[in-house]
Amino acid sequence: MNNVILIRFNEIHLKGGNKKYFIKLLHNNIKTALKNNICKIESIQNRFIVRDYENEDEIISKLKCVFGIHSISKAVEIKNDIKQICDYISTIKIDTTFKCDVNRADKSFSIKSNEFEADLGEIILKNNSRAKVDIHNPKTTIHIDIRENGYTFIFYDIIYAYSGLPLDEKRNGLLLLSGGIDSPVAGFAMAKRGLRQDVLHFDSFPYTSPQAKEKVITLAKKIRKFIGAKYMYICSMTKLQEEFHVNCKTEYAINLLRRSMIRIANILCEKFKYKTIITGESLGQVASQTIESLTSTNAVAKFPVLRPLISFNKEEIIKIAKDIETYDTSILPYEDCCTVFLPRNPVIKPKIEEAEKEEKKVDLENLIKLIILNMEVFDLDNKS
């Protein structure tokens, strides 16, 4: 009899001929998540097992952040032997309502699930005078998972993770990370679909403070356990914004800035082989997120721009931000570059031809080259 951690997945079951590929991805991601922990990781049919471990709670906390994992349980491992299972069940102490839930994945096991549930329930009742069976709404459920590898796993609690698909190193995106609530959640949402992401941030020092920059670095470190980020790029937009402010229509400032951000992201995608750009935009939330504004921004994109929060309202986004523990950092009162030279009445229906006309009033190509030349690059593995 051994204490183990049982790991289950669900969506991967739907991948047909590609199932083995996704299981291998998930196995590798579990190893990466637990690389600093003492443990052994074993793959069995439709399950993973963590054994010979220390710091159980820390391991479970890390596993909950691995996309592709559906649920986790602290379990006892016993051979697929009726007597050994019954002997263990006879040691269980229960003084409340309960039921036994048998999953007979090993179809060669001689007793069918419903019959074995009844037998095990009788054993518990015999040894616990205050226990009562309740198959509909029990306070305690004893799970008996009889697997094809010759072992049975007995457990009580099911700890749910985020499910989704495992991160794939071959599927890389570039997350535009601001200091706000939305963009970390957008990165989380795309990582849940298996997209690994690095991070691009724009600042406007000295109009924005060093604390604003540190705030976003903190956000990047908070979400990297989800999105698998290795690098963070920080681009200063100060000179470009000053040029827009002096030479262009004030009401177009935000639209011109957003178009420039996408142009810079295009360059990084080409240089570092990212396949897509991710933003935290939500339709109609602010002036830069109307259909017309998004269309104007898309017009300069050379790569797909993914907006996973496009239909979310603020309450829905905040709920996820709190769950992934980015909310408290996001609301720190340090403003980002989008608040610099903010027009009183930004255009909400920008015309692409008008934006292009305004861009010709500045030396946009050379300004962007200068931004890329002075870009800061942080290795998030080594940045403390």
195 alpha carbon, distance to own chain's centre? 9
- Lowest mean pLDDT, pick from 145-154, 289-298, 334-343: 334-343
pLDDT of residue 337 exceeding 90? no
> What's the CA gap between 37 and 339, in Å, rounded?
43
Looking at residue 341, what is its pLDDT? 67
C-beta of residue 223 within 8 angstroms of C-beta of residue 331: no
Q: At what angle do helices 182-191 and 314-323 cross, to 10 degrees?
A: 70
What share of the chain has pLDDT > 70, as a percent?
Answer: 98
pLDDT of residue 383 exceeding 70? no
pLDDT of residue 89 exceeding 50? yes
Looking at residue 343, what is its pLDDT? 75
C-beta of residue 144 within 8 angstroms of C-beta of residue 154: yes
pLDDT of residue 95 exceeding 90? yes
Residue with tokens 């990212």: 274
Show the beta-strand stretches assigned E in the chain.
Answer: 2-8, 40-44, 47-51, 71-79, 97-104, 132-133, 140-146, 151-155, 159-160, 172-176, 196-203, 231-236, 276-278, 305-306, 376-379
Q: What is the pLDDT of residues 223-234, one digit of tens each?
A: 999 999 999 999
DSSP result, 60-129: HHHHTTSTT--EEEEEEEEES-HHHHHHHHTT----SEEEEEEEE--TTSSS-HHHHHHHHHHHHHHH-T
> What's the CA gap between 4 and 51, in Å, rounded?
5
Main-chain phi, psi angles of 345, to 5 degrees: -130, 80
Work out the burial of residue 86: count CB atoms within 10 Å of its CB; fewer than 13 is exposed, 13-18 middle, 19 or more buried. Answer: middle
C-alpha closest to that of 211 among 183, 234, 179, 169: 179
Main-chain phi, psi angles of 49, to 5 degrees: -125, 135
Q: What is the pLDDT of residues 234-259, one digit of tens each?
A: 999 999 999 999 999 999 999 999 99
Q: What is the pLDDT of residues 143-159, one digit of tens each?
A: 999 999 999 999 999 99
Write down the domain spans for the chain.
2-160, 172-379
Q: Which amino acid is at 50?
A: V
Pick one of 3.40.50.11270, 3.40.50.620, 3.30.70.360, 3.40.50.720 as the CATH number of 172-379: 3.40.50.620
Grade residue 335 by pLDDT with cuts at 50, 70 and 90.
confident
The pLDDT of 72-88, averaged and rounded, is 97
C-alpha closest to that of 237 among 213, 219, 214: 213
Looking at residue 384, what is its pLDDT? 44
pLDDT of residue 101 exceeding 50? yes
> What's the CA gap between 233 and 286, in Å, rounded?
25
CATH T-level assignment (fold) for domain 2-160: VC0802-like (3.30.2130)
The pLDDT of 264-281, averaged and rounded, is 97
pLDDT of residue 76 exceeding 70? yes
The pLDDT of 334-353, averaged and rounded, is 81
The pLDDT of 362-380, averaged and rounded, is 95
- Looking at per-residue pLDDT, the higher value among 209 and 150 belongs to 150
Q: What is the pLDDT of residues 127-139, one digit of tens each?
A: 999 999 999 999 9
| Mean confidence (pLDDT) of the chain | 94
Tell me, what DSSP letter sits at residue 368?
A: H
Stated length of the chain: 384
The pLDDT of 278-302, averaged and rounded, is 91
pLDDT of residue 316 exceeding 90? yes
> What's the CA gap between 354 and 362, in Å, rounded?
14
- Lowest mean pLDDT, pick from 283-297, 300-314, 321-335: 283-297
CA dihedral 164, 169, 171, 177 (to 10 degrees): 80
pLDDT of residue 378 exceeding 50? yes
> What's the CA gap between 175 and 207, in Å, rounded?
23
Angle among Cα 362, 243, 272 to the nearest 5 degrees reads 75
